[in-house]
Amino acid sequence: MEHEKLLAAPPKRSFSEYNRNMSTPEQPSQTLTAYYIVPDVEAYLDFLQAALQADVVESLAGSAGKITHAQVRIGHSDLMMGRAREDWKPSGSMQYVYVDDVDLAYERLLAAGATSVQEPEDQYYGHRTAAGRDPVGNVWWLAKRQEDLSTEELQRRTEENR
């Protein structure tokens, strides 16, 4: 399916190359990049790598040697993060991530330290989904499209289920 093609890992590029050439015909950049404020960037990077197989694109340390900013890639999407400080407090968010196997991704999410929000289940809108809350408070929705529905069929099912 088309969304599964989007999760294939893009070619590796250095961050300077990535920054210098944000968009090419072969590798368009995303328009929106989420930015999380987290208490401990190092610990959050460990979580993202274990839970969502994130690749670290960049990490920058401050004068104290602790990472103050980092960027990861999950599939074709980037997520940036910074260390919380007095004027920037942590805040929660939600992400919807397409995966090849919801059940396996959910188990990986929990094994990495997330708590369950929703066990894997099939949804009326044609997706199989599951969700977990990470140690910082963000909710990660995991999804796989199982059916391609017309707008009319999706509307009919929504009316029946909502």
pLDDT per residue over 7-32, tens digit each?
444 444 444 444 444 444 455 456 78
Domain containing residue 92: CATH number? 3.10.180.10
C-alpha distance from residue 92 to each of 47, 51, 66, 95, 112 (Å) = 15, 17, 22, 10, 18
User: Which of helix, strand or coil describes residue 98?
Assistant: strand
The number of domains in the chain is 1
pLDDT per residue over 97-154, tens digit each?
999 999 999 999 999 999 999 999 999 999 999 999 999 999 999 999 999 999 999 9
Tell me the C-alpha distance between 99 and 108, whole Å: 12
pTM (predicted TM-score) = 0.78
- Residue 54 belongs to domain spanning: 2-161
